[in-house]
Amino acid sequence: MAVEIQALSTEMRGNNQDIWGQIDNHPFLAELKDGTLADSKLKYYFTQNVMYIDAAIQFLAIGAAKAPDSDARNFCVELIGIANEEVEKQRNFAANLPGGEVPTGMTAACQGYTRHLLTEAHQGGTLNLLGAFLACPWTYEFIGKRLAPEIEHPVHSEWMEFYGSDEHTRIVDWQLSIIDRLAADAGETRRAHIAASFRTSMRYEWMFWQMAYNEEFWPV
């Protein structure tokens, strides 16, 4: 009798509730919700996130090139189109927000996160990349659904609108289905690697909010 293998996404979600809760309760998001988040912190976030999305376009292109089937390839290509639209929107947000000095290059958290995902794309291929990258859209899905209906600040609301939308849910569900389908045929060692990479990405997600909230520069 064959043993049923648990969906990899279910395993990853269940094993990362500790970090998930810390992201959900981060003061950046609490202040975003109640409208008290300083413009300088949001400007800092957008400036760094533009660089993150630029890197995402690169690693998704690698994911598309290495995709094992048309479904995974089409997903990566569609996400590249969404990322190109989002990067311009966030670049405009950053340019129009008041605030002090912001880093012109990647800070530690952004550089570490993007290098982590680029490494997964280059060395592990599409499944490894999508498993590690999942932390970003998956957490934003839950954040967006919770915050989008309650935010009143016009910039905050415009930014979160997409993440609370049915379109974003469709994208996340598609990514989950690809990961679980491809991982069903992956060996135990590879599944464990993807789960570990996902947890690293969850840590970087928290660090990204923390970096922006504290407006962190490189310490030396």
User: Mean of the pLDDT values across residues 109-135?
Assistant: 98
At 77 the pLDDT is: 98
Residues in the chain: 220
User: Can you tell me the distance from the alpha carbon of 42 to that of 103, in angstroms, rounded to the nearest whole number?
Assistant: 13
Q: How confident is the model at residue 68 (pLDDT cuts 50, 70, 90)?
A: very high
At 4 the pLDDT is: 58
User: Can you tell me the distance from the alpha carbon of 63 to that of 49, in angstroms, rounded to the nearest whole number?
Assistant: 20
Q: Is the model's pLDDT at 34 over the cut of 80?
A: yes
Cβ neighbour number for residue 35 with a 10 Å cutoff:
12
Q: Considering the entire predicted model, what is its pTM?
A: 0.94
At 104 the pLDDT is: 81
Q: Is the model's pLDDT at 105 over the cut of 60?
A: yes
User: Mean of the pLDDT values across residues 194-207?
Assistant: 98
With left for phi above 0 and alpha for psi between -120 and 50, is residue 69 left, alpha or beta? Answer: beta
Backbone angles phi, psi at 211, to 5 degrees: -55, -45
User: Mean of the pLDDT values across residues 74-83?
Assistant: 98
Vertex 169, ends 164 and 175: CA angle to 5°?
140
Q: Which of 27-31, 112-116, 216-220 has the lowest mean pLDDT?
A: 216-220
Residue 10: what residue type? T
At 3 the pLDDT is: 46
Q: Is the model's pLDDT at 2 over the cut of 60?
A: no
Q: Where are the domains of the chain?
A: 20-214
- Superfamily, domain 20-214: Heme oxygenase-like (1.20.910.10)
Q: How confident is the model at residue 6 (pLDDT cuts 50, 70, 90)?
A: confident
Torsion of CA 74, 78, 84, 87, to 10 degrees: -120
User: Mean of the pLDDT values across residues 54-66?
Assistant: 98
